[in-house]
Every structure is written in structure tokens, then in C-alpha cells.
Structure 1
Amino acid sequence: MIRPSYQRSTLADLLPSIGAQLGVRGCDDILQLPPADRYVVVLVDGLGWHLLRRAVRNAEYLTSLLGDARPITSGVPSTTVTSLTSLGTGLTPGEHGMAGYTSRVPELDKVLNALYWDVPISPERYQPRPTLFDRAAEAGVRVSSVSPAHFAGSGLTRAAQRGAEFVGYPPAADDHERAELVTRAAMQGERSLVYAYERDLDHCGHSRGCESPDWLDVLTQIDRRLGMLRDQLPDEVRMIITGDHGMIDIPRDLRIIAEDESELLVGVDAIAGEARFRQLYVDRDNPHLVAARWADLLGDRAWVRTRGDAIDDGWFGPVDDRVIERFGHVLVAMRDDWAVMTRTQPRESSLIGMHGSLTPAEMTVPLLVD
């Protein structure tokens, strides 16, 4: 199990470290980054530290940076919603309360899918803490987000990344066009911060598997794209590349269907999270009894904790009373390459690559500085 090192080496520490270099009040350079007045942060969705080190022959540019690189960790769960919010706010999951891919909204008693934002609640109300983009802009830094155009105004963008000028590009945009958008944004103002998002690797990993030749091909394409971007950026711009989580391929015969195991859902009022990190909401039963049933059935295939035990173990960092009920009363983090599926989330049955748990392959991501 890899526990996050909050305030030392996690995604939540990246933008505050940049903010310290750019003169943003209240920011500390926890990660000891090299100084600059202009930064471009590229987040490659699904780029795990172990995956990158395993693919050195397929990523010439990225692996050329490994000599001075180091791994940092995501928060818990190791999933995009939580990671992007920790990156954007500089806060732990327990502080910002974006508890996972799906989690329960206590005041509405509904399960929110934060990628689709399918529950009628304002993102600004749900995640009201200021972002680092907000704080940097207030300090006079020109802040931009270069991402696919359809992310503009999405619930997750508003919750995790508001404060940046959104620069969207259409699906047909080629690598040169995208690099030009980032370069133009990076050269605005006297100090600048640009966030750029790469989504293709994660999509391929989910649909084809992160151990597939297709995944390696996509990594090579992204590697060339980022090498081109670095060549186009002026030398004064510091480029930092990281990921939001790693990934593991899950064999079909290691997938447990919760509804097929009658004991697992006894006392469970709602099941959320994802196949590698289940969040169980227990309103009428004793969470310790539910945790014991899951632990007995899963054995060494999972780490099972009550919410209180997980908090005490440092999974979520400090937890704000305002958001504590969003996290499951019982947390089930899968070990090795096991998964617990649920028929309430039919989309996940088609996935090959998955993430969310606390294994090194899922938790550690690279911090590459050029």
C-alpha cells in the first residue's frame, strides 16, 4: 500500500510550489522546483510512473527527462476527479471533498458521477474552496487552461479549475495547432501559468489495456506531441509533465460482481466509487459489521477499512466536517489485479485498464521537469 505524502510529494503540492515561484501569497515551494516566470503544466491522464519507466523505448522525449525526475503520488482514490481537483486547488481530498469518480451527495441522497455531473447541484457550491488558478490570477499571473473545447463549463472544470482562462481546441485540431495555443498562452503577461490536458492515453488504457500495443502507440504519439511543444516553447518557459494516476489491466476472471455475492450487499444502502476502490454507504447497519463481512469474503484481495480507520491511516489527508459524509462509511481498496464490479455501473464492465486503489502502479505518477 502506498499512502499519499500530503504536504511533501503529491499532486496537491505541485501548483502551490509553482505559485511560490510566481509570487502567489500563501504558497510554499514544497517540491523545490526550478525558478521561472512562466510555467506550462501538462497533465497526461493515466501516465503512471511505473508505466512510463516500463515503456522507455516508446517515449524518447519523456524518458530523456527521467534522469532528474522523481515519482510523486496522487491522493486517494487514485482517480481523475479527485486528482484534478487536488491539482487545481492544492488541497487534499479530505479538504476539497471531490471524493471520487462516483460518490454520494449527502444533502440530496444521490450518487454523483463527477465526470458527467449528473446531479443538480452547483459545482461552485459543491467545491467552494478557491483554486490555485483563482489565487494566481489575483496575484497578477496570466493563467490559462488549454483543453478539449467540450470541457468548457463542465461541472468538473468549474469545481476544480475555475479561475483560468479556458482555451478550447476542437477534436480536429492537430499537434501544431495545439502547441501554438499553449505557446501563445504561455507568453502572455509578465508571469504566466498554463495548464494543458492530454486525455488519449487514459482512454486507450481503459478500452484496450495499458499493457497493449495500442497503448504504447498512443504513448509514442503523445511523446512526439510533447517533444514538439517543448521545441516550440521559448527557453524561458519551464515545462512540467505529470499524470493523475497509473493503471492496471484487470483480467476477466479476477472480477467479482458484488450482486452475485449475497453477503456483500447486506446492510449496504448505496455503492459508489469504482471497481478498484469501492465506497459503501451504510445508513442502517453498523459499518464495522459491513467492513468485517467484506474483509472476510475478500481476504487478501483487498484492503477494507471503515471511513474512520481510513482517515486515521492518512488516506484522505485532513478531512473537513463539511465533506466527510461524501466518503463511504466503508472503503474497499483492491489489491494486486482484482476488482469488484457492480451492475449499478454497467459502463465499467467494458473496461480493461482500471485504477483507484493504493497500489504503487496506481498511486505513483512522474514529475518531469524540462
Structure 2
Amino acid sequence: MEPIRPDFSGASIAGIIPALLGARPAAWVPVPADGAESIVLLVLDGLGWEQIEANRGLLPNISAMQGSAITSVAPSTTATALTSITTGLTPIEHGVLGYRVREEDDVLNILSWRTDQGSRPPEPEAFQRHAAFMGREVPVVTKSEFRSTGFTRAHLGGARLEGWSTVAVLVEQ
């Protein structure tokens, strides 16, 4: 199978937020989203278009939505992809180039926000200088346990975090 290259000038996860906020034209955005007063962006980490296509019978609600395939980033790790989604930038622009990045004389694990040699990790806001959601304060629903992590502070800095603790109460909260 041939690797899929990111299409940063077209339909890409790095272009979702700029397109939805009107900062970048995007013909690939589903028609119902164009001009909508509000939009809920549901990010299911690791769920790709090919998985949806292969399992349409198991995913009737998602399958009923309008849309088409878009490209991810390279490397397509959680840390890199989520940061590209929230900042609207390519990995080379935002600097999260995988799970582990060099930080001074150490290596920072982005998800755990710990360094290999035990040195003090950077402050997330100093590490990620690019604003999430183009500087707009938008609500983000995430697991409560993630609210104060370094990675959350880095890739969602400035967002209004709404935490949930169990799937059963997610909709109620």
C-alpha cells in the first residue's frame, strides 16, 4: 500500500479550523457547515475514513453525515495530529513532530509531558506559542483527567475546557 501524503493546500486536518472559522476557503467542507452559526467538531483519535467506509453498518450515525476523506499529517501521531487540528498549522509550523521531541539537552515525551533524563519539562504555553482555534475561546469537551496535563495545555491553550469523567454522564455534563 502506498503511503498517503498530506495535502496541506487542500483537504487536510490542518485546514479544518481555518476553514470552519472562515480564514481559509475550503470547497471540501460539507455544505451544511458553510455559514452555520455553530458547529460541533467531533475528533475520534485514530478513526480514519477507510475504517468508516469498511464499517458503515456498525456506524450508522457517522455514516449518515456528509463528508469525504481528508488527509492527516506526517507523522500521523496523536500528538502531531491533534496539535495540527487545533492550531490549523502543519507540523513543521507548530513544532510537534511526533511523540518525542528534543528539548534542550533532553527528550520530551509530548503526551506524558516528561523528559527522558528527568529534567524539568518546559512550560506548555512557552513550548507551544501558537494559539489554539486561531485565538478564539471555544469550548472543548475532554476527559477531566486530561484537563491539566502538559499536552492539553500545549495544544488546547486558551480553550474553555469542559471535563467529563464517565461516558455514561458525558451527554448530561
Please give the range of the TM-score, normalised by the shorter of the 2 chains. Answer: 0.7 to 0.9
Q: Distance in 2 between matches of 1:47 and 1:148?
A: 18
Identity of aligned pairs, percent? Answer: 35
Matched, 1:151 2:153: no
Deviations 1:55-84 (A, max 9, x none): 12211111222xx42111111101100000
In 2, Cα distance between the equivalents of 1:12 and 1:4? 9
CA distance in 2, matches of 1:158, 1:152: 8
- Confirm whether residue 130 of structure 1 aligns to residue 128 of structure 2: no
Q: Aligned match of 2:87 in 89, 94, 101? A: 89
RMSD: 1.5
Aligned residue type for 2:12:
T
> Which of 1 and 2 has greater Rg?
1
Please give the per-residue CA displacement for 1:308-337, whole angstroms capped at 9, x wherever unaligned.
xxxxxxxxxxxxxxxxxxxxxxxxxxxxxx
Q: Is the 8 A contact 2:14 2:85 kept in 1?
A: yes
SS at match of 2:41: strand
Quote the offset at 1:11 in angstroms.
0.6
Residue aligning to 2:78 = 80
Q: Does 1:62 pair with 2:62?
A: yes
Partner of 1:28: 24
CA contact (8 A) 1:19 1:136 kept: no
Query: Structure 2: which 5+ residue stretches go unaligned?
Result: 116-120
Q: Runs of 4 or more off by more than 4 Å in structure 1? A: none
Q: What residue in structure 2 maps to residue 40 of structure 1?
A: 40
In 1, the alpha carbon distance for the partners of 2:13 and 2:40 equals: 15
What secondary structure sits across from 1:168 in the alignment?
Answer: strand
1:34 Cα deviation after fit: 2.1
The reply on whether 1:178 has 2:170 as its aligned counterpart is yes
Residue in structure 2 matching 1:104, options 94, 102, 105 = 102
Distance 1:151 1:131 in 2: 16
Higher relative contact order (CA 8 A, sep 6+): 1
Deviation for aligned residue 1:173: 4.4
Map of 1:4 onto structure 2: 6
Aligned 8 A contact 1:12 1:87 in 2:
yes
SS at match of 2:10: coil
Q: Which residue does the alignment assign to 1:17? A: 19
Instruction: Report the residue type matching 1:55 in the other structure.
Output: N
Matched with 2:118 is none
Distance in 2 separating the partners of 1:36 and 1:29: 15
Q: Distance in 2 between matches of 1:87 and 1:180?
A: 26
For the residue of structure 1 that corresponds to 2:102, the secondary structure is strand
- Aligned residue identity for 2:161: F
Q: CA offset at residue 124 of structure 1?
A: 1.2
Contact 1:85–1:98 (8 Å) recurs in 2: yes
2:132–2:159 contact (8 Å) kept in structure 1: no
Question: Quick one: which of 112, 115, 126 aligns to 1:116?
Answer: 112
- Residue 129 of structure 1: how far off its partner (Å): 1.4
Distance 2:162 2:130 in 1: 23
1:155-197: CA deviation from partner (whole Å, max 9, x where unpaired): 1111111111111111x341xx32234xxxxxxxxxxxxxxxx
TM-score normalized by structure 2?
0.87
Residue 136 of structure 1, CA deviation: 2.0
* CA–CA distance in structure 2, aligned partners of residues 135 and 163 of structure 1: 7
Q: Measure the CA separation in 1 of the matches of 2:167 and 2:5.
A: 39
Alpha-carbon shift at residue 7 of structure 1 (Å): 2.8
User: What is the TM-score of this pair, normalised by structure 1?
Assistant: 0.42
Post-superposition CA distance 1:219-275 (Å, at most 9, x none): xxxxxxxxxxxxxxxxxxxxxxxxxxxxxxxxxxxxxxxxxxxxxxxxxxxxxxxxx
Q: Is the 8 A contact 1:6 1:13 kept in 2?
A: yes
In 2: Cα distance, 1:166 partner to 1:61 partner: 26
Matched residues in 2 for 1:164 and 1:180: separation?
Answer: 21
Secondary structure at 1:83 match in 2: helix
